[in-house]
Amino acid sequence: MRYYIVTTTKFADQCIEHLTYGATQSNWLANINYGDTIFLSQFNYSSQKLFGPFQARKTMFYNKAVIYPLQKYFYRIKLELIIKNIKCIDETDLYLSGIQTKNVSDYTRIINLIQQNKHLHCISLTDQEGGLIKDTFFKFGINYGDGRKSELAGDVVNIDRKYIWQKNRLDKTHKFSSESDLESYLIFALKQPKTIEYSNINTLLKKFDNNELHYSSVYNQFIFGNAYPSDLTVLNQNNINVFELK
């Protein structure tokens, strides 16, 4: 199980109403798996709030129902509640957690991570970061309702490696139409050990000891230094492998 923050500046209520989060490009949500823990962030000039905790009920799909005013976030995931009611916390609650646990530095780093990356659709968290945020929800969260009031309309198309291949017509064009689709394709391929892409990348990684994919965790848009996301990051106990896609 992984932890993620998905972000919006003003559409948290629409996400909660439909228990759905949407992004503009395929790569942002491609690495989220069923059961991963999701926090919804709405940070803007008047509000710095987190909602949750949710878990992913349906992995990425394409759906054109308009649920965000004036915006078209068609790459989507479905959410479900982990507990009976959605909780809401403020940025200051994270700081209070840090004071209570005498761990202000880690919580301050999380606050900075959210503040400096609110323009990104999805922030990948380490297990430690995710656990600290989840603990804060249980300590300070106030009830914010029980979610779904409206169902999605229109067709729902599951997105996987085959979908990205066909969308880009790779059998004819032999190239991706966007860097985001290339990133998504590789993420899906690295979830399937029998793919040629998995084998090729694993061969590259094996040049270093204990660096194979089966020893590792694969992240996308993993943020270094609070503000520098990497396209693909392969982490294990011995190595940090960073891939920038062009």
What's the confidence (pLDDT) of residue 131?
97
Task: Compute the average pLDDT of residues 80-97.
Answer: 93
Distance CA 148, CA 239 (A): 42
**pLDDT at residue 90 greater than cutoff 80:** yes
Beta bridge partners of 29: none
Distances (CA, A) of 115 to 90, 91, 226: 12, 9, 9
Distance CA 201, CA 220 (A): 15
What distance in Å separates the CA atoms of residue 134 and residue 3, rounded to the nearest whole number? 9
The yes-or-no verdict on residue 53 having pLDDT over 90 is: yes
Span 186-211, mean pLDDT?
96
In this model, does residue 36 exceed pLDDT 80? yes
Domains located in the chain, CATH noted: 3-143 (3.10.590.10), 160-243 (no CATH)
Q: Is the pLDDT of residue 227 over 90?
A: no
pTM: 0.92
Q: What is the mean pLDDT of the chain?
A: 92
In this structure, what is the dihedral angle of CA atoms 115, 93, 82, 131, given to the nearest 10 degrees?
70
Q: Do 152 and 161 touch, CB atoms closer than 8 A?
A: no
